[in-house]
Structure 1
Amino acid sequence: MPDLARCLAEAYDIALPHRGKGKVADYIPALARVDPMRFGMALALPDGTLHVAGDADMPFSIQSVSKVFTLALALRRVGTGLWDSVGREPSGSAFNSIVQLESEAGIPRNPLINAGAIATTDRLIDGRDADVVTQEILDFVRARAGDDGVGIDLDVALSESQTGARNRSLAHFMDAFGTLRHPVETALGVYFRQCAIAMSCRQLARAGLFLAMAGRDPLTGEQLVEAHRARRINAIMMLCGHYDNSGEFAFRVGLPGKSGVGGGILCIAPGQGSIAVWSPGLDDAGTSLVGAIALEHFAYAAGWSVFD
């Protein structure tokens, strides 16, 4: 058995010199102010063990990493009917692209691009009040993290709403095709707030454990989603979790992962554990540059890959 604490420390040390590289997501003003030199890692294991490095306890905006939790909740609420509104194929396009929506009758390619995540959130709402659904997402994430201190950064949520013209365009386009079941601003009101959830690497790694353990939270014993749905969420993360960079991430890391433009990445090693990294500088596809380097080296050192 590899010494996982040592593997994490080595991965952190290898990636550390690359801090400051990449570009912070400056199109969202609240994210543009984040220090690009921040870098944290956390590894959560099914027995409750946590190994951390660097800025692992500093909260950051999880952004699109939230899509994984909303997808799990939507599948739990509406089941396979979700796939009437969103596909399961890689997009090969940027996270906020509108091109495929026109040629594919307003059905987004997958739940992890922005259009697909908006459609997924729309289905999770299921006729309910937007504030109630937002609280449901937050409560779910808090329970998975084992920390009621997890919250929504309202400054980030407001900043996203004020600069959300592209996301509004995606939502209105889907609405024109009849994909959305609720008013555009209702769906976006939940979506902007879920993306503005702030978590630390320690909290995020713990929150992802249920996906590493066939949908069961190993620390509470709760079966949160059926095992087959957990497998499918992991498959979608592997194929679509980094947009047009998903193939490169699978090639280099070999594990399901989901990135966010806040600089976070949640990575799942089925049967083993979950890893969260955070460093705000992004590559051209919107994935943390330093985080991807760290995950590549950790996965290699630990011998963790779904392709073994």
Structure 2
Amino acid sequence: MISGLPLPDLRTIVSEIAEEMRDRKDRGEVATYIPELARVGLENFGIAVVDGDGTIAEAGDSDKPFSIQSISKVFTLTLALGKAGDLLWTRVGREPSGNPFNSIVQLELEKGVPRNPFINAGALAVTDALLSCHPPRAALGEILSFIRAAAGDESIFIDENVAESEKRTGFRNVALANFMKSFGKLENPADLVLGTYFHHCSIAMSCRQIAMAGRYLAHSGRNPETGFNIVSARRARRINALMLTCGHYDGSGEFAYRVGLPGKSGVGGGIFAVAPGRASIAVWSPGLDAAGNSRLGRMALEKLAQRMKWSIFG
């Protein structure tokens, strides 16, 4: 049972939402500043919901891998907190930015310290923290191994074509990294931080794999399948709090208002969301809104939260 509804009803709701999204015309626009993402068809839509028993309700293109982009920041943050603990917060803040995800304005005002770990500058600081423990290849191996283990799926991979595409066109991220370096806020060479960042953003996963990998954040830090505590319940709550307040950039308030669940988006069109104590959720539709978040993905999650009565606000 989930939230008072038997699983067949959840499966019905998920299927109905996928059907409703399939017929919508206002699908947003794909991210064209990363050429490989511009190739993805707007017609794609997938959704997967995993409950505490590991039972999956899914529909649409739920098993089709796509570039998770900034959803990877949830997993790198988890790893960095495991290594640095609360010392990480001396390098990156925990406040909403109110600016686009790749903005350089606040970095100058705040002397190279990013507002939160989910904007690009903040994710660069988190990546730098991981590199302080390992060289790039080993750091990427650790990130990928962690995600594979959390998902229980060894087939998850880094899409090298997307990584190369980001490297060729990621001039704003290059500027962010060098700006932070100029303030002494990166310990490692900027090019190594950037290369690692581009590669973990280029991890390819399906909705099903993302929902499986993120189960620990829906269940107080514990993988409900293995019973293993990936993080403490306290840390899981705090990561969820950051997803709620900062997970959708300058669209985070709107997402909290309409969906009422912690979530993290990526410009590949994916959104990972958590119904605490109930389910881990992933949706994918590559068309983005003006804030860089999946347009239909947010709509689908709003419908799911309403019909399942999953909003954390009651």
TM-score, with normalisation over the residues of structure 1?
A: 0.98
Partner of 1:212: 218
Partner of 1:222: 228
Q: Which amino acid letter does the alignment assign opposite residue 50 of structure 1? A: I
Is residue 168–residue 188 contact of structure 1 (8 Å, CA) maintained in 2?
A: yes
**Aligned pairs (5 A) from 1:88-237:** 88-237=94-243
How far residue 145 of structure 1 moved from its aligned partner, in angstroms, is 1.2
How far residue 46 of structure 1 moved from its aligned partner, in angstroms, is 1.1
* Partner deviation per Cα, 1:253-292 (whole Å, 9 max, x = no partner): 0000000000000001110011100010000011111111
Partner of 1:297: 303
How far residue 18 of structure 1 moved from its aligned partner, in angstroms, is 2.1
Partner of 2:35: 29
**Aligned pairs (5 A) from 1:63-78:** 63-78=69-84
Q: Which amino acid letter does the alignment assign opposite residue 42 of structure 2? A: P
How far residue 19 of structure 1 moved from its aligned partner, in angstroms, is 5.3
Partner of 2:56: 50
Separation of aligned partners in 1, 2:256 and 2:17 = 17
How far residue 14 of structure 1 moved from its aligned partner, in angstroms, is 2.4
User: Secondary structure of the equivalent of 2:155?
Assistant: coil
Is residue 19–residue 38 contact of structure 1 (8 Å, CA) maintained in 2?
A: no
- 2:22 corresponds to which of 1, 16, 20: 16
Separation of aligned partners in 1, 2:46 and 2:61 = 4
Partner of 1:265: 271
Separation of aligned partners in 2, 1:19 and 1:194 = 32
Is residue 101–residue 107 contact of structure 1 (8 Å, CA) maintained in 2?
A: yes
Identity among equivalent positions (%) equals: 58
Separation of aligned partners in 1, 2:299 and 2:174 = 33
How far residue 226 of structure 1 moved from its aligned partner, in angstroms, is 1.2
User: Secondary structure of the equivalent of 1:8?
Assistant: helix
How far residue 144 of structure 1 moved from its aligned partner, in angstroms, is 1.2
TM-score, with normalisation over the residues of structure 2?
A: 0.96
How far residue 204 of structure 1 moved from its aligned partner, in angstroms, is 0.6
Separation of aligned partners in 1, 2:213 and 2:22 = 25
User: Secondary structure of the equivalent of 1:41?
Assistant: strand
Is residue 86–residue 109 contact of structure 1 (8 Å, CA) maintained in 2?
A: yes
Q: Which amino acid letter does the alignment assign opposite residue 40 of structure 2? A: V
* Partner deviation per Cα, 1:22-53 (whole Å, 9 max, x = no partner): 01001100111011100000001110100110
Separation of aligned partners in 2, 1:257 and 1:151 = 22
Separation of aligned partners in 1, 2:29 and 2:147 = 28
Q: How many pairs does the alignment contain?
A: 308
User: Secondary structure of the equivalent of 1:6?
Assistant: helix
Off by >3 Å, runs of 4+ in structure 1:
none
How far residue 7 of structure 1 moved from its aligned partner, in angstroms, is 2.0
* Partner deviation per Cα, 1:172-211 (whole Å, 9 max, x = no partner): 1111111111000111111000000000011011111000
Partner of 1:87: 93
Separation of aligned partners in 1, 2:296 and 2:139 = 33
* Partner deviation per Cα, 1:57-88 (whole Å, 9 max, x = no partner): 10000000000000000001110010010000
13-22 vs 40-49, which moves further: 13-22
User: Secondary structure of the equivalent of 1:18?
Assistant: coil
Instruction: Give the alignment's Cα RMSD to 1 decimal.
Output: 0.9
Separation of aligned partners in 1, 2:312 and 2:185 = 34
6-15 vs 53-62, which moves further: 6-15
Separation of aligned partners in 1, 2:237 and 2:25 = 33
User: Secondary structure of the equivalent of 2:237?
Assistant: helix
Q: Which amino acid letter does the alignment assign opposite residue 152 of structure 2? A: G
Q: Which amino acid letter does the alignment assign opposite residue 213 of structure 1? A: H
Partner of 1:276: 282
